[in-house]
A and B are shown apart, each in its own frame.
Chain A
Amino acid sequence: MTETFGGLTQEVVSGIALGCIYALIALGFTLIYKATEVVNFAQGELMMVGAYVNFFFVSALLEVPLLNGVWAFIIALVGAVAFAVLFGAFLDLIINRPLKDEPVFSVIMATISLAIILRAVMAVIAGPMTRIPPSPFGSSVITFGGVAISTLDMFIILSAVVLVMVFYFFFNRTKWGIAMKATSEDPMAAHLVGIPVKKVYRNVWIFSMVVATIGGVLLAPRTLLDTHMGFLGLKAFPAAVLGGFGSIPGAIVGGVIMGVIETVSMGTLSFHFPWVKEINDIIVWIVLIAVLMIRPAGILGHEEVDRV
């Protein structure tokens, strides 16, 4: 009995770490959706781009003599984030600007094509080989009470929590955040009261790209680096929706629920009930559909009032 319980604790802890990865991607979805009502199908690919850029920086910097390993990672991260800022602004320029008066459907399709392009371009630049990115934490593991968690996973959880808190604070307490909220409610009215709507949109894409980069940097040592990494974005979709699309704390709530359900169903549940194995890759979807039937806008989402 204790052994079963011990296993369960371990699975929950691993599930939380996995869930925080989903949360980081879901946060990117949420930011863009919140301000522009666009579902960014390329979010996973943005993460992949960020991870690759960071990887290039790290491999280049590790070659430099006199540079301590830890500093190489820190500088690379700063470099990748700087790139993310520029790239986010660029994406706003090529996607959001030209399509601002078009239906949301068109923008969604633009993001689908963007995903295809980014995957292909990255494969051209980096070659088709799977890369093994170095991790600043090596493979060190922290164990307490029989439950093991890698240092990397600790960092993933930590950064997801911190980022969600930062953005939550930002949207609810700062002038810029409130301006962004207002823009998403009604861009026209926001424009009339003097909010620079274009800048708001640009910032949203930049934020989203930065979050994606941080997610990618943390995820890459865990999963190895290849251009198909972006498909994880599809798994973060149900996380974002479960929490409530457009709700920032919802991203982490949804992500963690998804992650824990996934590991526990693959672990303890399928150990005791073999038929669970047949459904453990769709169990998150079943949960999602069930939740949406009860709360059509997700756990922390608000139902939109439809004005005639």
Chain B
Amino acid sequence: MKIRNIILLTLLVALFLGCAGREPTPGVTDSEILIGNIQDLSGPMKELGMALPHGSNLYFNYINGKGGIHGRKIKMVIEDHQYNPQKAVAAAKKLVEQNQVFCFYQVIGTSPCEALRPTLEEYEIPLIAPATQSGTMSDRSRRGWKYIFHTDTGYDKQANILVDYAYEQNGDAKVGVIYQDDDYGANVLKGIAEAEERHGITVQKEAYQRGATDFAGQVMNLLKGGTTHVIIGGVVREPIIVMKTAAAMSYAPQFLGISPTMDHRVVLGAGKEGEGFIVANFAQLYNSDAEGAKLYRELFENSGTDPKVMGMYNFYGFMTAMVLVEGLERAGKRLTRARLIRAMEGFKNWDGMGVFPGISYGPSDRAGTESVVLVANRGGTQQIISDWIE
């Protein structure tokens, strides 16, 4: 009994004293930079929670192998937020105060990232490349905007470009959209509303709930509405089921997708029903000829990971890792949080070995890329079919 008490007490004290020794810049030593990542490891997005950091670590390990950044190796600590905003904040406080991370990187999900804003402000700590493409991330009217460097083209912008594309293809096009009824869908609808105003049209809108498994009603409505182009704002499962359902009803519009439907498993899962599916993407493909993509494939194959992991999501982690490393590189030898922010603001059309259309930030600009390429599914492989579209 007594021994158990002593052990318990020691554990408690150890817990409270978890963070001894403060340094001038937290998370930076002569040999290491500690960065914090808050992922969804057990919630609805847990698949990405595995794929993204794995891709990032490929690049970090590569950089560390070359001697690191100004002699410092990068180390990433991952916490789990289960797609719960409050857990994200608790994890952020833990990372800052206990693990003493230098900056945040790649926190996944729109609402967890939004919930972090007061924390970022409180600790004046930057968040580089949040893993959400919501246009609200680079919105300067929001709290703590200064600390968030968003890399991707927003969903609203993507939806806009897809509507334009539909009209370029067919002047009489009738556009419909199937959107997820949450923050992701809200941002898609924002872009659709802008496009509606520009073209003077109305887009037929069909909603579904996160986790829905049946889309017969929505597809039927789009068929009845006579839409010729359908924009799918889903992730992996939704485009597959939508396209299969439509094929079963012998309804064949041109399907267009927002970037989360980019994953190659959509192509695999949809089979012949997915032929011709066009997706907007804000970067080069992982199987393209860009220097960065070649490096990715080489590193991936050397890592001996399950080849199933390779794909857009994994590559996305890799790409955003390049952004972070470039920022740290530019921040120089005497690394502080303020210096990192200044260095990030210096990005001008930086293309990260050819994978990005050109990332620019500025003192009052937090949106990285603003353009997309269109990728089509041709006979089971994804091919780029356009230039960068603004």
Contact = CB atoms under 8 A, between A and B. Distances in A.
Instruction: Indicate yes or no for A touching B, C-beta below 8 A.
Output: yes
Interface of A: 3-4, 7, 10-11, 14-15, 18, 119-120, 123, 127-130, 132, 139, 141, 148-150, 219, 222-224, 226-228, 231-232, 262-268, 270-271, 277, 280-281
B237 interface: yes
B308 A129 contact: yes
A123 B80 CA distance: 14
B248 interface: yes
A226 B248 CA distance: 24
B220 A11 contact: yes
Given A129-B47, A277-B207, A224 B240 contact: yes
B42 A123 contact: yes
Given A128-B41, A228-B211, A270-B217, 18 more contacts: A7-B220, A14-B216, A18-B213, A123-B46, A128-B46, A128-B49, A128-B50, A129-B47, A148-B248, A148-B249, A223-B213, A226-B47, A266-B217, A267-B216, A267-B217, A267-B220, A271-B220, A271-B221
Contact of A228 (B44, B217, B268): B44
Complex A-B, nearest 3 residue pairs according to Cβ-Cβ distance, in ascending order: A266-B217, A267-B217, A14-B216
B271 interface: yes
Nearest to A142: B248
Name the prevailing secondary structure of the A interface residues.
helix
A124 to B, nearest CB: 10
25 contacts: A7-B223, A7-B224, A14-B217, A18-B213, A119-B42, A120-B42, A128-B41, A129-B47, A129-B50, A129-B51, A139-B244, A139-B247, A139-B248, A139-B271, A141-B247, A141-B248, A148-B249, A148-B250, A149-B248, A228-B44, A262-B214, A267-B221, A271-B220, A271-B225, A281-B209
Contacts of A120: 42
A132 B47 contact: no
Contact of A281 (B50, B181, B220): B181
Interface in B238-259: 240-241, 244, 247-250
A223 B130 CA distance: 29
A222 B213 contact: yes
Nearest to B43: A228
A258 B42 CA distance: 29
Nearest to B311: A129
A226 B265 CA distance: 13
Contacts of B224: 3-4, 7, 271
Contacts of A224: 236-237, 240, 269
A266 B245 CA distance: 14
B220 A127 contact: no
Interface in B1-60: 41-42, 44, 46-47, 49-51
A227 B236 CA distance: 15
Contact of B217 (A129, A132, A219, A264): A264
Nearest to B306: A127
Given A266-B218, A267-B217, A271-B225, A132 B269 contact: yes
Contacts of B384: none
A18 B220 contact: no
B325 interface: no
A219 B213 CA distance: 10
Given A7-B220, A7-B224, A127-B50, A263 B271 contact: no
B248 A232 contact: no
Contacts of A130: 47, 236-237, 265
B309 interface: yes
A132 B268 contact: yes
Contacts of A226: 47
Given A120-B42, A123-B46, A281-B181, A18 B214 contact: yes
Interface in B342-388: none
Contacts of B249: 10, 148
